[in-house]
A and B are shown apart, each in its own frame.
Chain A
Amino acid sequence: MEAQPYTRTELMICVAARLFQDGTTAFIGTGIPMLAAMLATKTTAPNLVPVFEFGGTGAILEDLPRAVGEARTFHKGLCASGICDTMETAQRGFIDYGFLGGAQIDCYGNLNSTTIGEHDHPRARLPGSGGGNDVGTQCWMTVAIMQHDKRRFVPKVDFVTTPGYLTGPGARQAAGLPPGTGPAYVVSTLALMDYDSAPAGASPAGTCRMRLAATHP
């Protein structure tokens, strides 16, 4: 077979797609996570059950959804309910994976999608949490998908919109976040990263810091 050219973003989507385990439930956000979920259902995880926050569960992803509420998120789906139902399902421990994006991520996997600069007088106002905070709190394992550059991978995020391991070992549980939850992977345009805390949130935890798992070819 002739080699096809590909972009770094396409490679990132392929790496992210392989992280979906077949027969699990996954909360899917807008954009790249949708592409990754769609690819996963057509390849390695045909029985993945995608959950979209405004109520779509178990859609057959034939066309790429462009928003988390559009009809493609419940196309030939198993259930079309509402946001309280999906979020409560996650809060009850039924959602295995959450796929997230953000403007900034730090070494503990905390994500910022709210403001750059000081909150009350921001240099840049970003969209806000949306469902991100709920996903990062309630899903068992979260995967962040990010373009790899220095502005995005920062020592400290300007605003913790969505919890990663917060300030390090034990911080999630001290804050009251559900035990056993936490960031599992980061997929970037250059690499796959995991955290020194396997499995996610387990006790005794490691340093909870992000570390390089594999570089992309």
Chain B
Amino acid sequence: MQVLESGRGEMIQPPDLDAFREWNRTEKTRKLVDKRMSEAEAVSRFVTDGCYIGTELYGTVRCPMSLAREVVRQGKKDLRVCGQGVLELDLWLAAGLVKKLDVTYIGLEVYGTSSALRRAVESGQVESCVEWSNGAISWRMKATAMGVPFLPTRSMLGTDTLTYSSAKVVEDPFTGIKVCLLPALVLDVGLIHVHRADRHGNAQIEGISGFAFEMSRACKRLVISAEEIVPTDEIRKYPDRTIIPYYLVDAVVHAPYGSYPGEMAYCYGRDEAAIREWVEMSKTPEGSQAYLEKYVYSLKDHQAYLNLIGQERLAQMVEERERRE
């Protein structure tokens, strides 16, 4: 197959599917062991300086915010970050933890562009931004999930998004059409928040599944945080709901309100005022630091964070949850 065009973006994490198979053979236990631990222990053990890391779903929706804050608290640095984000990646950018980005979207949704992203990229603190579409980055994970080195798509063709990616364009040997080849993406560590998991890591999600299926199968280490830890018998009653089976998982963190101030479908709604607080404070470096001080550095752990937010406010968010009716 002749390569017709190559994106000039850096391959931030060159895929090696044979090494990934070997990793899965030797480093991932098949035993049903208890993997429960705190945010502090999970981040300390599995998130390393310079690692290639991703979060799912994104900032205001079913996002592992308690884990994201712990990454900031422990000051993990030189992170190579994959994907889309709102509050979680903003915190990392504001804390100066991010060195490279495989970026699809980092912004504040209805509130517009991210000041933290602008400062980090425009100042050169983030050394490289490699561009992808949301579909493309998800399919890159899907390729890894399939155990193959790339997947073809028609997305990105003809655009600067492709030029500044590390994708390649070839002529399909079967039909002759041009396709964009997306390289498989193997995360060193993925962080995913779910509705419930058992102690072994069997995890279930309600509502949309985002890219949890693909990401969970595309990482060497996977840290799950869960609203609720349930007995394995509960998982066995509804095995059809398990999106992430235990053998993919390295750590299980019990994190009630783990997505706050974002939402968790059918559990709690998003706290608009709390989200706007970040939108406002992140406009300046000083404001961002004050926010991090107040909500991360000065707090010992997620429980201390929940104490600061207060039961009354959390109860109000529960009241505003999506309901099945």
Contact = CB atoms under 8 A, between A and B. Distances in A.
B161 interface: yes
Contacts of B61: 54, 67, 69-70
B211 A162 contact: no
A159 interface: yes
A87 B105 contact: no
B155 A69 contact: no
A209 to B, nearest CB: 17
Nearest to A123: B122
Nearest to B264: A71
B134 A175 contact: no
24 contacts: A30-B110, A53-B135, A75-B322, A82-B210, A82-B212, A84-B211, A87-B134, A114-B161, A121-B124, A124-B113, A125-B118, A125-B129, A126-B113, A127-B105, A128-B129, A128-B131, A129-B105, A129-B131, A134-B135, A134-B136, A137-B155, A159-B164, A161-B131, A163-B157
Given A69-B61, A176-B179, A127 B154 contact: no
By secondary structure, the B interface counts as: mixed
Given A84-B139, A125-B118, A71 B265 contact: yes
Interface residues of B, number: 63
Contact of A81 (B113, B132, B209, B270): B209
Interface string A113-139: 010000111111111111111100110
B105 A84 contact: no
A80 B138 CA distance: 17
A56 B208 contact: yes
Nearest to A64: B110
Given A54-B57, A127-B106, 12 more contacts: A30-B109, A31-B110, A53-B134, A53-B135, A54-B61, A82-B209, A127-B105, A127-B114, A134-B133, A137-B157, A162-B159, A166-B158
A126 B117 CA distance: 8
B57 A125 contact: no
A138 B155 contact: yes
A171 interface: yes
A66 interface: yes
Interface of A: 30-31, 53-56, 66-75, 80-84, 87, 91, 110, 114, 119-134, 137-138, 159-163, 166, 171-172, 174-178
Interface string B267-288: 0011010000000000000000
Given A124-B122, A175-B178, A176-B154, A133 B159 contact: yes
A171 B178 CA distance: 13
A114 B154 contact: no
Contact of B155 (A56, A134, A160): A134
Contact of B138 (A73, A87, A128, A132): A87
Contacts of A66: 60, 109-110, 270, 272
Given A71-B263, A119-B164, A162-B159, A134 B60 contact: no
A129 B210 contact: no
B134 A176 contact: no
B159 A125 contact: no
B3 interface: no
Contacts of B310: none
Given A128-B105, A177-B154, A159 B207 contact: no
Contacts of B135: 53, 83-84, 87, 91, 131, 133-134, 138
Given A31-B110, A127-B106, A163-B159, A69 B57 contact: yes
Contacts of B57: 54, 69
Contacts of A75: 322
